[in-house]
Amino acid sequence: MKLYETAVTPSCRRVSIFLKELGVEVDRVAMNVRDGENLTDAFKNKSVNGKVPMLELDDGTTLCESVAICRYFDESTPNELHLFGRSALDKAQVEMWHRVTEFQGLYAGFQAFRNLSGIYKDREQCVFAWGEESKARVAGFLPQLDARLAASTYVATEYFTIVDITAFIFIGFAEKALELNPLAQYPNIARWFEQIQQRPAFQ
């Protein structure tokens, strides 16, 4: 089994933190996406989306999309962490908050960074105005997340789930890549962020 990754990217970090929470070790294959190693025919023949992370099982089966990889390990590794939720309601809340956090937060942040920085302008059309709009959407989501964390210890449920991994990566991305300073502006996010980063898997 091999995990193809670019360790610093948000999607790969999500899988790495998830695996640390489960206590799972997997062989890693480092990919340089900036140099286009993921754009080769050999890689694209294995990866449905041509992106990292990608998990290759011993029988040659491959999985891409970070949440799908996390689900595979959650189901195939005996554990009592319930990172995708315990009860039917919890699982639904995890799914709901995960989609909200991804689409209104993390993915909008990706669009803002890619279009404003032009980091991949050699392989995609960058639209500065869309980058600005995406950054504004991220900024608009932060008060909603702060309000949620005023009412709940964690994002989706009253215990730690994969949504907290995603939200943690999103807040770090908003701080560093987008310079939005959510930790200085939103006390509930700051309280939660400090709590999350004390977990061993985040060290």
pLDDT digits (tens, 9 = 90+) for 181-203: 999 999 999 999 999 999 999 99
Query: What mean pLDDT do residues 34-59 have?
Result: 93
Q: What is the average pLDDT value for the chain, to the nearest integer?
A: 96
pLDDT at 153: 97
pLDDT above 90: percentage of residues in the chain: 93
In three-state secondary structure terms, 201 is helix
The model's pTM is 0.95
Q: What is the pLDDT of residues 51-100, one digit of tens each?
A: 999 999 999 999 999 999 999 999 999 999 999 999 999 999 999 999 99
- What's the pLDDT band for 134 if we cut at 50, 70, 90? very high
- Which has more confidence, 199 or 42? 199
List all residues 6 or more positions away from 86 whose beta carbon is below 8 Å from its beta carbon. Answer: 157, 159
Is it the case that residue 119 has pLDDT exceeding 90? no
CATH topology assigned to domain 2-76 = Glutaredoxin (3.40.30)
Single-letter code of the amino acid located at 27? D
Cα distance between residue 163 and residue 193, in whole Å:
13
- What's the pLDDT band for 142 if we cut at 50, 70, 90? very high
pLDDT at 122: 87
Cα distance between residue 160 and residue 131, in whole Å:
32
Domain 88-202 = CATH 3.90.1300.10? no
Domain boundary assignment for the chain:
2-76, 88-202
pLDDT at 158: 97
- What's the pLDDT band for 120 if we cut at 50, 70, 90? confident
pLDDT at 6: 95
**Is-contact 46 37, C-beta < 8 A?**
no
Single-letter code of the amino acid located at 121? K
Query: What mean pLDDT do residues 27-53 have?
Result: 93
What H or E segment, with its residue span, contains residue 107? helix 107-117
List the structure tokens of 113: 């960074």
